Amino acid sequence: MHIDAPKAASPQGVREGEGAAPGGQAGAAGISQALSEPIGQGKAVLELRVAGHSGSLPQVCGLLARRAFPVEAMLCLPASGGWQSIWLLVPEDGRLGQLMRQVGKLGDVLGVHRRDGLGPFETLMAP
């Protein structure tokens, strides 16, 4: 039996290969790289309206993780009426429709909408 040794921890306590974003990218730099392709080239922007309490985001993220659906960028914004708006930049593939239906069935989700353009991600890209 072969057992792999754990990865060495960096001085900041994060293991090598782990980070806030894929490829070691973080924050606006990671979003810039994700948006470098035109939006019509295999990317979709989804807006989720969710209940405005602390359990909503983990519920959505848990579903995305269980389905192994990659998210290139995520933005959470307050919305009117005590709801929150979660914006996702995701790859457009054959699973997108099914994912939208599954997210819509979560208890804290009021609605799932596909949006044209970049939505609030465009503001983050402004110089």
Query: What's the pLDDT at 116?
Result: 87
Decide if 22 contacts 112 (C-beta within 8 A). Answer: no
pLDDT band at 37 (very low <50, low <70, confident <90, very high): low
Give the model confidence (pLDDT) of 2-31 as tens digits: 444 444 444 444 444 444 444 444 556 655
Query: Of 23-27, 35-39, 107-111, which gets the smallest average pLDDT?
Result: 23-27
User: How far apart are the C-alpha atoms of 35 and 57, rounded to whole Å?
Assistant: 23
Query: What's the pLDDT at 18?
Result: 41
Query: What's the pLDDT at 121?
Result: 82
Decide if 73 contacts 121 (C-beta within 8 A). Answer: yes
Cα(first)–Cα(last) distance of the chain, in Å?
Answer: 54
Segments making up each domain of the chain, as ranges: 42-125
Q: Would you say residue 114 has pLDDT above 90?
A: yes
Return the residue matching tokens 């659906």.
69
What is the chain's mean pLDDT, rounded? 77
User: How would you classify the pairing of strands 73-78 and 43-51?
Assistant: unpaired
Beta strands in the chain (DSSP E): 43-51, 73-78, 83-91, 109-115
Q: Domain 42-125 belongs to what architecture?
A: 2-Layer Sandwich (3.30)
pLDDT band at 70 (very low <50, low <70, confident <90, very high): very high
Span 66-88, average pLDDT: 91
Taking the whole predicted model, whether its pTM rises above 0.85 is answered as no
